[in-house]
Amino acid sequence: MIKASYGNRQAHALCTMSYSARLDFIAEGLPIILKSAQGFWNASRQLDRSPREARVLECFAEEEAAKTLILLDLVRCPSTHLSSRIGRIVKKVFYDHLARLIYAEAQSWKPVNVTQLQEYVDTKRQSHYLEGRMNEYIMPNWALYSRESAMYADIEVYEDGKPQWSDPHQWSEVMIGTKPISLLLTEALSALGLFSRAGVQATADVWRAVNFVDSQGYSEARNLTHRLAARLDKEGLVTEQANESHVHAFYNLWQLPMYSIDFNKIDVSLEQLKAEREAAYRAEVGYEHYDDY
């Protein structure tokens, strides 16, 4: 039986397009995604008396803007390596909440190269982690937990085994308040002309010169960013809306290409967490006092 695949969540269609058609399609979609992200953000600014709901919309804006950065990394990927990466990116990264949240947060990181960037991502894709002065608390992945806890009333269970209700309104005091970096950057890239068809082509032509997989880092990215800026200016693609803050974001916030990064969630076992916790306690109080733990 052939399963009908009509409807949404069909980004894998990008896999079967020709290179030129894919760039056409991405250029068409980038302004649409940006408008969607801005809509969420602008709506969140109208909810002064509903901070929990405002936070949810802020998170939607952050994740939506991250989609443009994911697509632009497809554009920045050398065409000779794209066939081995595009399936994973459009089927997993583009639709995965954790991957999009990490993508958004990663724009503020300063890794020296792709290898270090992967290490940073690894710390954010753990299913659970230890928290507290001596790592005494086992916590779920914070990005996913904070997202879900703000959106839904739910039932939670921790080490004591007692179920408890999670009230999403408890997040009312945790307001982000400032525009997400992913949205700031997306707006900057749009203002500088990257979201036009010619801008997408320029991005592809410039960035495909380097395959970012391990030791490639800041110096290569800086050089390519300058080259792209010069081409955007030469071809008259920079819009009238562009300002100094957009230029700053372009040069300082756009992360190294992440098309080779693994975003799959890492499942951390309870045994591993307990072993790490015991090791942390030993290091803190000394082995002679460990038996009292």
Asked if residues 232 and 65 have their Cβ atoms less than 8 Å apart, the reply is no
| In-domain check, residue 26 | yes
CB neighbours of 275 closer than 8 A, spacing ≥ 6? Answer: none
Phi, psi of 209 (to 5 degrees): -70, -20
3-19 pLDDT tens trace: 777 899 899 999 999 99
Q: How many domains does the chain have?
A: 1
Residue 235 scores a pLDDT above 90? yes
Residue 290 scores a pLDDT above 80? no
| In-domain check, residue 242 | yes
| In-domain check, residue 77 | yes
**Tokens 């372009």 — which residue?**
250
Residue 122 scores a pLDDT above 60? yes
| In-domain check, residue 42 | yes
| In-domain check, residue 165 | no
Residue 95 scores a pLDDT above 90? yes
CA distance 43 to 118: 34
User: Contacts by 77-81 with C-beta closer than 8 Å and gap 24+?
Assistant: 77/207, 77/208, 77/211, 77/257, 77/259, 78/207, 78/208, 78/209, 78/210, 78/211, 79/19, 79/204, 79/208, 81/211, 81/259
67-85 pLDDT tens trace: 999 999 999 999 999 999 9
Domain that holds residue 32: 19-115+177-252
| In-domain check, residue 284 | no
Residue 230 scores a pLDDT above 90? yes
Phi, psi of 90 (to 5 degrees): -80, -25
Identify the burial level of 176 via C-beta atoms within 10 angstroms of its C-beta, where 0-12 means exposed, 13-18 middle and 19 or more buried.
Answer: middle
| In-domain check, residue 73 | yes
CA distance 118 to 70: 16
pLDDT band at 53 (very low <50, low <70, confident <90, very high): very high
**Residue 97 is encoded by which pair of tokens?**
């909440």
188-200 pLDDT tens trace: 999 999 999 999 9
| In-domain check, residue 214 | yes
**Tokens 């993508």 — which residue?**
103
Least trusted range by pLDDT, from 114-123, 234-243, 273-282:
273-282
